[in-house]
Structure 1
């Protein structure tokens, strides 16, 4: 079971300032009022408290005079209070929340009793759990090589309709117009509709990872082949070494390893020959410098290997710690019961604190697992900083070795230049020296990749695992289930569209999750929502679609909040500055009342499992509207979201 909105609370910036707006669960709630009285801020406050990554509350009285926001979430037998401060000056958003589990009916606590210490990501996880979302499920992202773990933030796509969305011909769902959101909505719809089997989803994710691993492995193998010692460049250098007299001619074709070995022999052997051909000490400094450079190269290689090993160990620690923390969060959420020494070590209920003797073994096991995980995390936590410190030391040493190697090369270049200036070498010697330099450069650059750890060719094993998963998933009917569910939902959309007397409601209507719109299949071809014309059609199909989706969520236990919030649906029929007086008459009034009739009929049919909150300019006398008004915020009665006594100076430019 998921939750509904019990109340919205705002805390003023002055001590003792608290304002709570209560809502009726399982019912239609209407907040009506004049412009700039704070009606539209209700949606953004709820959005902000439900772990939004930004600060959606618009500038105006609410931002200026409110220091913290809160929502009370309720579901049968449970209540969750979530509060969040307004961002501090200079900050874009507040990243910690206060999340309290309360007994049903508990009023919002005073601000001074709240402790804001729950990180945003943790709060999002708690809210997702409270909503009934299975956080172990991952669904593939559309058009991106990654997966999505559905959360409370994704569920809200189907719960909010802001003022610029409720009758928008181009946007059907909340936040659909933001970058990347359409593909995210497409990716999570199957999960919230119940078309995703958790086991099949895990297999699909495993298949995606294996395919990615196979692609990465093939790229590494191709790179290894291109950089191999038997590449064209290596064989060309080998030929040049033979022509320069550094190596003798070979009749057989050398293997890859032999090519690399011959090039090293040509480089080292030529140096020995040069030293032996000169009995004087003129070449001694050069020989010593080259020897030092060789030692430095070996030291650089060893340092790189040590750094790679240490980083691998850090990565393994991080992976283990992440899995352990996830397991601990799950166990901690189950470990609400505690042992009481006053009741013979029996477990206590976390709500009424009465003993539950039968839970003794379960509680003890959970506590033991938590202690074991805490111990593992403590060990990993102490090891990782030490490893990171060692990595830093090794990298510093590697930098020093590289600097020394660079100085050694400069020394060799200087000695070589001096020796060339002292004597004129024969052409053959010069050519040999030139070839030696090219071989040395090749061994210093390209060959180091080859001499590193060889890439293991495990393609056959990966392909075998991929084939096995593809066979297991061959009978997966997720797409068929989704198609079937959408067909049933589309029938309900058409029924409501006909009741609202919308255009094309006599034709088959379908919810197109690929284009994220509603389509009427007419004899003249498909007609999308954007092409239907008339703001009344746009509003009507939005209302019909969202009500039909929430009807499906309620009847099939979809993990979506049982709350639908609509911001000013009457904008289609009346001017934005309409205040409710004089009372409108005629067709527009009957059409607007028809919208409310469809909303109320759906709420009544679902028997308390759906809550609809509407904020409106209009204030209609018809009982269908009047009986569901819970707040009137008008200048005439001096009522608003922010109480007038909080306001110390006027604000001209403000969004409500």
Structure 2
């Protein structure tokens, strides 16, 4: 069960209260002239339901109203929510007043209001009051973290501003904002009831595991780079040999990682530096460059071998498929005898029709020989495929090792080149040796921090197994099927209402597109979106039909969406372009039909749905006439802000 609105109130600084009463479970129309505050009612509802911004417009409201408030009712429960206007240069207010009242209680006095509830706590309280499980986390596209549903998301289905209700490009409230559009796509399945809370939790776990796997791979890569036998370490050891810090290594032997680390530690701690540079039989940089050329050639050969093996595997697969199909045709569903059969009388009969013929045996023999040959080839080729795949895996391992060797070789070349460049600036051998010791010392400090830090444990296999298990449990098609099913049922309701409103494309299937967040008519010429249907009456009609249909679904399925819909100026599409206040609508019958359709939905939901409409039009026909709650006109002096509150001239603006 969720809530409706029983009153919208404003306070001036003197504490005087102006309340606009509303009837839950009914249609409520506030009609009147422009710029008298009708549109502000929607903004007050939005602001008091924990908007992040100060959405109130109009100079009169901003000048003379100190506090905005709404009274919410749910069964016998009543919640009064008030929010002050920003003071000074503040952009908005971040504390509100939330008070539980006895059912039917009037708005409290200004002095009794305590604005002590932070905005985020107010959102949580209002979400609870609406029945929204704000502890749930819903994964959203382009969002680093899953987001909890809240009252703010639910309002996308409850508000239709004047520039939204007939908008061809937007269907839902707030859809023009990128972040709101992303959130709405994620939240639509939840509010429709297609999201299983357990599934949402598993999806969150899956996202976290995938992130852990990425972080694990990055950490392992970093650990490999920081290893003591890296190209940088080997290059520094070569510099130590050249600077005379260490004796020349034995020729032709590759030093182990432990030997490299030990040599660097000896080089940095030796005191007998600069005793003469050690000459190598061959320049180390030349050796490294030649080694790189050899590695690249080996890398190219292995890549070519892998490509050839993959081509062979593809050809094997293609042959196996064609041969199996050919064998199946020859076998003719088992009508032929086994090749080894000696049932000669039977061999004189046609294997298909059973007739006797003297030359049938020869034909059957040829077919059987083909079958034997194909069986042998299928066995031979089929048995070779695993061997080819094993060779591919082996060669790919070699390729990965070569890539690592190339990376290390490049590191060694870069480090040695940089060291020699730095050493060339120092002619004194002592200073050159000291500079090499400083570079080695810096490297060892970095490596020591890596050694002393927590060691990376390779858990990729375990994380991968958990990811596989969750992916199998989730089966993305399950939620997609539920969502498609529920939207299909809502589409049926939209279709019925579009027929009642005599909209275009009622002869075609009509559907909500949950990704594009629009209405689509499926025609023989292709899909036609709301923006392509043309005409303000179509846009407004499909907006209203969609919102009414969604609220029918929310009510029938007891979904946690507030049971009210606020429509601002739906009759705007029926007024002449140069219409002034009081100008009759161009199509009264169509406008009346709109209100009859709204009333039919309200009646069908038996008090569980409320519609609040702000209008220029004022019809004498039912159900419009009985739904009017207030008439704000200049002729009778009525407006949202009482005339006596205004103590000085303020320009009239939209929203007043």
TM-score (norm 1): 0.74
How far is the alpha carbon of 1:260 from its aligned partner?
3.0
Which residue of structure 1 aligns with residue 222 of structure 2? 223
2:9 aligns to what? 9
Q: Equivalent residue for 1:114?
A: 113
Change in 2 beyond 3 A, CA 1:254/1:655:
farther
Q: What is the CA-CA distance between 1:433 and the residue it aligns to?
A: 2.9
| Rounded Cα–Cα distance in structure 1 between residues aligned with 2:564 and 2:608 | 9
* 600 and 102 in structure 1: CA distance in 2 versus 1, 3 angstrom threshold: same
| Rounded Cα–Cα distance in structure 2 between residues aligned with 1:38 and 1:140 | 39
Contact 2:206 2:470 in 1 (8 A): yes
- Does residue 640 (structure 1) correspond to residue 639 (structure 2)? The answer is yes
Aligned to 1:83: 82
2:590 — aligned with what?
Answer: 591
1:268 counterpart residue number = 269
Match of 2:131 in 1: 132
Aligned CA distance change for structure 1 residues 475 and 163 (closer, same or farther; 3 Å): closer
Per-residue deviation, residues 24-69 of structure 1 (Å, max 9, x unmatched): 0001110001111100110110111111111000132111100001
- Map 1:94-113 → 2, pairs under 5 A: 94-113=93-112
Partner of 2:552: 551
For residues 414-437 of structure 1, what are the alpha-carbon distances to aligned partners after superposition, in whole Å with 9 as ceiling and x for unaligned? xxxxxxxxxxx9965454334223
Alpha-carbon distance in 1 for matches of 2:585, 2:125: 46
Structure 1 residue 179, shift from structure 2 partner: 2.6
Of residues 211-220 and 533-542 in structure 1, the stretch that sits farther from structure 2 once superposed is: 211-220
Rounded to whole Å, the distance in 2 between the matches of 1:545 and 1:226 is: 58
Question: Cα 1:118–1:106, aligned 2, differ >3 Å: closer, same or farther?
Answer: same
Larger radius of gyration, structure 1 or 2?
2
Describe the SS at the equivalent of 1:591: helix
- What displacement does 1:462 show? 1.4
User: Is 1:574 aligned to residue 567 of structure 2?
Assistant: no
Q: Deviations over 1:164-205 (max 9, x none)?
A: 000000000001001321111101000000000111111111
Alignment of 1:428-439 (within 5 A): 428-439=429-440
Deviation at 1:544, TM superposition (A): 0.6
SS class of match (2:233): helix
Compared CA separation, residues 10 and 229, structure 1 to 2 (3 A): same
Counterpart residue number, 1:239:
238
Alignment of 1:51-70 (within 5 A): 51-70=50-69
Matched, 1:182 2:205: no
Deviation, 1:257, is: 4.6
Q: Secondary structure at the match of 1:239?
A: helix
CA-CA distance at 1:461 after TM superposition? 2.0
Q: Distance in 1 between matches of 2:36 and 2:610?
A: 23
User: Is this contact kept in 1: 2:28–2:629, CA < 8 A?
Assistant: yes
> For 1:32, what is the secondary structure of its paired residue?
strand
SS of equivalent residue, structure 1 residue 609: coil
CA change 1:257–1:151 in 2 (3 A) is farther
Following TM superposition, by how much is the alpha carbon of 1:230 offset from its aligned partner in structure 2, in angstroms? 1.7
Deviation at 1:609, TM superposition (A): 0.7
Contact 2:137 2:204 in 1 (8 A): yes
Deviation, structure 1 residue 449: 4.2
Matches within 5 A, 1:135-146: 135-146=134-145
1:445 CA displacement: 4.9
Compute the displacement of 1:234 (Å). Answer: 1.1
TM-superposed deviation, 1:579: 6.1
Partner of 1:35 in structure 2?
34
Q: Residues of 2 paired with 1:102 and 1:256: CA distance?
A: 76
In structure 2, the residue matched to 1:324 is none
Structure 1 residue 443 displacement after superposition: 3.1
Unmatched segments (≥5 aa) in structure 1 = 278-424
CA distance in 1, matches of 2:618, 2:213: 63
| CA positional deviation for 1:274 | 4.9
Task: Tell me, in whole angstroms, the C-alpha distance in 2 between the residues paired with 1:584 and 1:150.
Answer: 40
Distance apart, 1:253 and its partner CA: 3.9
Change (3 A) 1:584 1:470: closer
| Residue 229 of structure 1, CA deviation | 2.2
The answer to whether the aligner puts 1:471 opposite 2:472 as a matched pair is: yes
- Give the drift of 1:623: 2.2
* Residue aligned with 2:186, SS: helix
2:642, 2:652 → 1: CA distance? 18
Return the alpha-carbon distance in structure 2 between the equivalents of residues 201 and 445 of structure 1: 43
Instruction: Report the RMSD for the aligned CA atoms in angstroms.
Output: 2.1
C-alpha spacing 1:39/1:458, structure 2 compared with 1 (3 Å): same
Other structure's SS at 2:565 match: strand
Distance 1:426 1:471 in 2: 68
| CA distance in 1: counterparts of 2:57 and 2:427, whole angstroms | 83
Report the equivalent of 2:455: 454
Q: Is the 8 A contact 1:570 1:618 kept in 2?
A: yes
Conservation of the 8 A alpha-carbon contact between 1:98 and 1:117: yes
Distance (whole Å) between structure 2 residues aligned to residue 218 and residue 59 of structure 1:
56
Q: In the alignment, is the contact (CA less than 8 A) between 2:244 and 2:273 conserved in 1? A: no
d(CA) in 2 for partners of 1:574, 1:141: 41
Go from structure 1 to structure 2 and tell me whether the alpha carbon gap of 1:520 and 1:559 turns closer, same or farther (over 3 Å shift).
same
Match of 2:349 in 1: none
Question: Residues 655 and 580 from structure 1, CA distance in 2 versus in 1: closer, same or farther, beyond 3 angstroms?
Answer: closer
Whether the aligned pair in 2 keeps the contact of 1:498 and 1:505 (CA below 8 Å) is yes
CA shift, 1:240, in A, is 2.0
* 1:493-525, Cα deviation, whole Å (9 max, x unpaired): 111111111111110001001001000000110
Post-superposition shift, 1:452? 3.2
- CA displacement at 1:590 relative to structure 2: 1.0
| CA–CA separation in structure 1 for the residues paired with 2:507 and 2:58 | 44
For residues 607-653 of structure 1, the C-alpha deviation after alignment (integer angstroms, 9 at most, x for no partner) is: 11110000011111212211100011110111011000000112225
Q: Is the 8 A contact 1:33 1:579 kept in 2?
A: no
